[in-house]
Amino acid sequence: MNVETNKRQHKEQLYQLFARIATAMANPHRLELLDLLVQAPRTVEELAQEAGMSVGNTSQHLQRLKQARLVTAAREGVYIRYRLADPVVARLWLQLRTAAGQQLAEVEQALDAYRDRRHEFEGITAEELMTRLDNHDVILLDVRPAVEYETAHLPGAVSIPWNEVAHRLDELPGDKTIVAYCRGPYCVYADEALSRLAAIGRAVARLEEGVAEWQQAGYALA
């Protein structure tokens, strides 16, 4: 075997390894599992419930992700808890999502269909949010499940899961704008919460960023 042939084989091996990552991610269910794990570590059962899949199918998808070393698993009693193997995996997912949004017009169309009320609410930027938090004229509301808030959240945020907002209105001062966020721009939970608040006359705004986008932009998490 000559030197050039040997180098070619090693180069192809490199691309095969790169393809292992791409192949592991090339499934919509596995991408959703990664998106959930960006928010918080979870057991197979918790992931299955969140993703609307059977425990068996969820476990199979997680094994594919684990084989590609995108996730790790640790036993906790009778349960196995999964988490992202490294922060670079979260960044890879965000970059993939960004590329799809820029290159595929269908992404915006699908998002409009999924978040069909997203254009009804005032948007607020991260910079404006921080200024208004300093001025104490807004309440920042994290409407994700409590386990995600407990793992990491935006500084100053209070936790009321989106499906509890209607029953916990007395926890939200009536003289301040309520800014809600959830898992980022492809999450509908904040829209659901803001719809309920706007319906009773509360001043509301939506922060598109979630914890992953916030951290990627260079801001600290609590």
Any idea which residues carry the catalytic annotation? 182
Look at strands 122-123 and 71-76 and give their pairing.
unpaired
The helix/strand/coil state of 46 is helix
Residue 19 contacts residue 68 (beta carbons within 8 Å): no
In order of 1, 127, 214, the CA distances from 218 in angstroms are 49, 12, 7
Neighbours of 203 (CB within 10 A): 15
- Determine how β-strand 158-159 pairs with β-strand 122-123: unpaired
Look up residue 177 and give its two tokens. Answer: 């704008």
Q: What share of residues in the chain are helix, strand, coil (percent, to 5)?
A: 55, 15, 30
